[in-house]
A and B are shown apart, each in its own frame.
Chain A
Amino acid sequence: MIPFDFEYYRPESISEAVQLFIELDQAGKNPVYFSGGTEIITLGRINVLYTNAVIDIKGIPECQVMDYHEGNLYLGSCCTLVDIEEKNLFPLLTATSKEVADHTARTKITLGGNICANLFYREAVLPFLLADSQVIIAGPNGYRTEYINQVFNQTLQLERGEFLVQLITEPDKIEAPSINIKRRRQWTTGYPLVTVAGLKLGEEIRVAISGLCPYPFRSQKMEYYINSQDFSQRDRIEKALGDVDGNVLNDTEGSDKYRLFILRNTMLDIVSTLEGERA
């Protein structure tokens, strides 16, 4: 049971949603956009999240898109993870998505909700960071289209009243060899100790990581070491790990040392698979 009341709005267009946000905000109702709603409901229940009004954006057609347009893949922020897996238009995203939560929860969790989540794993962002995807964001100042690597810094950097509408990905990134490995403390569902997604574009390997630090990230410096062919594979990974910042999680799920140990082995698996040694 959620221990407080809120108003519920379901707009049918982007402009209606934004206008509503502005009005509710001015009225002091601290509105939140509601997509799958699973985080709003579960964090609301334990009083970690509070709002007087939710704006359910699932009725906005642009947020439900899942299709190619002029060669690029457009995915709406309100597509559920299960819908994305069933359509399987972006194999790396399917692989990452299938490891999030469990199948039934993924019939409700949405792509935009996962990427904009307060819970810091946000695993579904990894494929888009690797693919240099673009995001379409709507808000009080209209629309903007940005490269995700420019606007995702630990979280998607949104101005007040803005929301994620769609993600756009180019076909060469979708078709490139890729891999996703999620390591948990135990069992086969649940949050990661470390999740690493990898993509190989030409000879270049890209990696993005969730679960290691309290935010997901892609590090150009780590990729520089992974791709510098003068050294052995192990040395390259060792150098890349040396570039992990000091924010490695150290909690009951796993100590920082253990997480780095898991990361080292996971990176070895990722790099050797993408370099073809174990393909």
Chain B
Amino acid sequence: MLKLTGTTNITLNINGEKRPVTVRPSETLLGILRGKLGLTGAKPGCLNGDCGACTVMIDGKPMKSCLMLGVEAPGKKIQTVEGLNGTPIQRSFIEHFAFQCGYCTPGFIMNCQSLIDTNPNAPDEIIEEWLKSNICRCTGYEEIEKAIKSVLRDK
């Protein structure tokens, strides 16, 4: 049985690297990524599971990092936007002008990347269902939809 009764050292597997970090059990993964590991790509928005700005990938699935404790994460593969480098979805966001202020963009990109990896033939309903997990205050939804569809349909 795992027992963590105070501040403790854990190792997180982030973007293929082992990252040791000292955490309190009540710290969220989002807080640890940003405040302790300098990975500020995942953004704090609502901190309530609603906006999706904090989305990362856990074992290939999209996850709102504000809804996960850091201590739940050891043993899992965490991927943040910093781990993507010139991927088709990143290029497609640029080509389709799929952002304005850019605050929601890392969260959208991680959600899209997970969909591309797990369901490359996703029909329109599934794309829509997944994209509804993220909110863009600059309302660039059409461009975002075009960006992901162009990557999925190119495959």
Contacts and interface: CB of A to CB of B under 8 A. Distances in A.
Interface of A: 1-2, 4-12, 16, 20, 36-38, 41-42, 44-45, 54, 56, 59, 82, 98, 101-105, 107-108, 188-189
Given A2-B26, A5-B25, A41-B67, A104 B55 contact: yes
16 contacts: A1-B47, A4-B26, A5-B26, A7-B3, A8-B69, A8-B71, A9-B2, A10-B1, A37-B68, A41-B28, A45-B47, A102-B52, A103-B132, A104-B130, A107-B63, A108-B67
Given A2-B27, A37-B67, A56-B72, 14 more contacts: A1-B31, A5-B25, A6-B26, A8-B25, A8-B69, A10-B1, A16-B1, A36-B67, A37-B68, A38-B49, A41-B28, A102-B133, A104-B133, A104-B134
B24 interface: yes
A247 B26 CA distance: 36
Range of interface residues on chain B? 20 to 34
A61 to B, nearest CB: 14
B2 A105 contact: no
B66 interface: yes
A1 B28 contact: yes
A189 B67 contact: no
A7 B6 CA distance: 6
B111 interface: yes
B1 A12 contact: yes
B61 A107 contact: yes
A59 B2 CA distance: 10
B63 A108 contact: yes
Contacts of B55: 104
B43 interface: no
B85 interface: no
